[in-house]
């Protein structure tokens, strides 16, 4: 697969989002492992996860542990796979998502993620979401400390606005490598962050790039130009969507979620789908 850069490493230009394999509606473990192995077969080398991707209160890190098992049971070389996890969100088990961006929590959460992933240093650790009760600089300061201590190889942030991106990069001493924000045909208000990342040469990882777990299948029916361009190329509207994102800037690395081998196999083909300037303009206007 063609690659793009995070920090000083190259990763496949389409990553795998792990969330659908661990939250509501998740499949059985066998299908999840087959999905992750299919992604690896296709050359995916960025896998996005979080300690909060779980259902019940007593299974924090369900997705991290799943990914660790899938990597361990894969027949091939996985040394070039960058696992990107996050801390700062919690799921108490009642379906809600809560926040704790305190430095104490982030440092503890990172230690737990290290154990579940079975590594000495986490590939990419991302501060999941700003916590209004904690000054942003304090949360990012904890990520800087983890970086300085060698607990994490790369530092990223998520759900950040342009001011927070600049502030995080300053606190990290210019070592911010990625920003993960929501971006899809249905949710375009992260364009300013995408453009800032392109200017700063920081990777931009669109989350829910297909519109989210419950709406990804209807992308073509909700946004007709994506279905039309897809028909012209004989590919899926989801592939067109990912190719459209890749064309926005060389820093963009979408992380579509998957819980079936077929969907990730389809998504990775977006790296080879060339869209014309006229098609891109139609999709921009969709
Ligand atoms: N930082 C944050 O706050 C945040 C928030 C949300 C998500 N995320 C991350 O972003 C990742 C992606 O977001 P998401 O999973 O919410 O939504 P998404 O990627 O927009 O949609 C996921 C769904 O798309 C379907 N799909 C994938 N490729 C497809 C294809 N080629 N054709 C048809 N359907 C396809 C999958 O179906 P199947 O399940 O049937 O395979 C999957 O359930 C997550 O997995 C997670 O890692 C981060």
Q: Tens digit of pLDDT for each residue in 144-170?
A: 999 999 999 999 999 999 999 999 999
Given a contact cutoff of 8 angstroms between Cβ atoms, the answer to whether 269 and 239 are in contact is: yes
pLDDT of residue 115: 98
Best mutation site among 42, 258, 268, 273 for ligand 1, i.e. most ligand atoms within 8 A of its Cβ?
A: 258
Ligand 1 midpoint to CA 257 (Å): 3
Atom number, ligand 1, closest to the C-alpha of residue 258 = 41
Looking at the DSSP assignment, which residues form a beta bridge with residue 180? 158, 205
Which residue stretches of the chain are H helix? 29-41, 62-73, 103-117, 136-148, 162-171, 191-200, 219-222, 224-233, 237-246, 261-268, 277-285
Q: Is 265 in the pocket of ligand 1 (CB under 6 A)?
A: no
pLDDT of residue 86: 98
- Beta carbons within 8 Å of 23's beta carbon, 6+ residues apart: 53, 54, 55, 213
What is the per-residue pLDDT across 75-107, written as a single tens digit (0 to 9) for each? 999 999 999 999 999 999 999 999 999 999 999
Question: What is the sign, positive or negative, of the torsion defined by CA atoms of 180, 183, 187, 193?
Answer: positive
What rounded mean pLDDT belongs to the chain?
98
pLDDT of residue 164: 98
**For residues 110-129, average pLDDT:** 98
- Closest Cα to atom 44, ligand 1: which residue? 17
Ligand 1 midpoint to CA 210 (Å): 7
pLDDT of residue 251: 98
What is the per-residue pLDDT across 224-274, written as a single tens digit (0 to 9) for each? 999 999 999 999 999 999 999 999 999 999 999 999 999 999 999 999 999
Q: Is 238 in the pocket of ligand 1 (CB under 6 A)?
A: yes
- Closest Cα to atom 10, ligand 1: which residue? 207
pLDDT of residue 128: 98
pLDDT of residue 161: 98
- Beta carbons within 8 Å of 112's beta carbon, 6+ residues apart: 51, 60, 61
Which of 120, 57, 114 lies closest to 87 in space, CA to CA? 114
Ligand 1 midpoint to CA 145 (Å): 31
Please say if 53 is a catalytic residue. yes
Best mutation site among 66, 203, 207 for ligand 1, i.e. most ligand atoms within 8 A of its Cβ?
A: 207
Q: Is 48 in the pocket of ligand 1 (CB under 6 A)?
A: yes
Looking at the DSSP assignment, which residues form a beta bridge with residue 82? 46
pLDDT of residue 191: 96
pLDDT of residue 96: 96
Q: Left (φ > 0), alpha (ψ -120 to 50) or beta: where does 56 sit?
A: beta
pLDDT of residue 266: 98
pLDDT of residue 116: 98
Q: Residues of the chain with pLDDT > 70: what percent? A: 100
pLDDT band for position 221 (50/70/90)? very high
pLDDT of residue 162: 98
**For residues 196-204, average pLDDT:** 98
């Amino acid at each position: 697969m063609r690659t793009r850069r995070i920090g000083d490493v190259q990763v496949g230009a389409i990553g795998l989002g792990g969330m659908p394999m661990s939250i509501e509606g998740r499949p059985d473990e066998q299908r999840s492992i087959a999905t992750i192995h299919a992604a690896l077969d296709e050359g995916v080398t960025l896998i996005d996860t979080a300690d909060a991707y779980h259902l019940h209160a007593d299974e924090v890190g369900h997705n991290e542990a799943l990914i660790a098992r899938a990597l361990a049971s894969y027949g091939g070389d996985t040394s070039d796979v960058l696992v990107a996890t996050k801390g700062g969100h919690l799921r108490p088990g009642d379906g809600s998502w809560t926040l704790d961006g305190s430095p104490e929590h982030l440092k503890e959460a990172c230690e737990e993620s290290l154990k579940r992933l079975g590594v000495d240093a986490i590939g990419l650790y991302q501060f999941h979401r700003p916590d209004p009760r904690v000054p942003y600089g304090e949360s990012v300061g904890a990520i800087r400390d983890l970086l300085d201590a060698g607990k994490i190889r790369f530092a990223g942030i998520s759900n950040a606005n342009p001011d927070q991106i600049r502030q995080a990069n300053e606190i990290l001493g210019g070592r911010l490598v990625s920003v993960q924000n929501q971006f899809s045909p249905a949710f375009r208000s992260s364009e300013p962050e995408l453009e800032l990342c392109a200017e700063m040469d920081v990777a931009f990882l669109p989350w829910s790039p297909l519109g989210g777990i419950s709406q990804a299948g209807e992308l073509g029916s909700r946004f007709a130009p994506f279905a039309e361009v897809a028909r012209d190329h004989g590919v899926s509207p989801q592939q067109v969507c990912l190719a459209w994102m890749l064309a926005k800037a060389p820093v963009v690395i979408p992380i579509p979620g998957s819980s079936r081998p077929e969907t990730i196999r389809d998504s990775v083909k977006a790296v080879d789908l060339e869209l014309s300037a006229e098609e891109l303009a139609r999709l921009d206007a969709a």
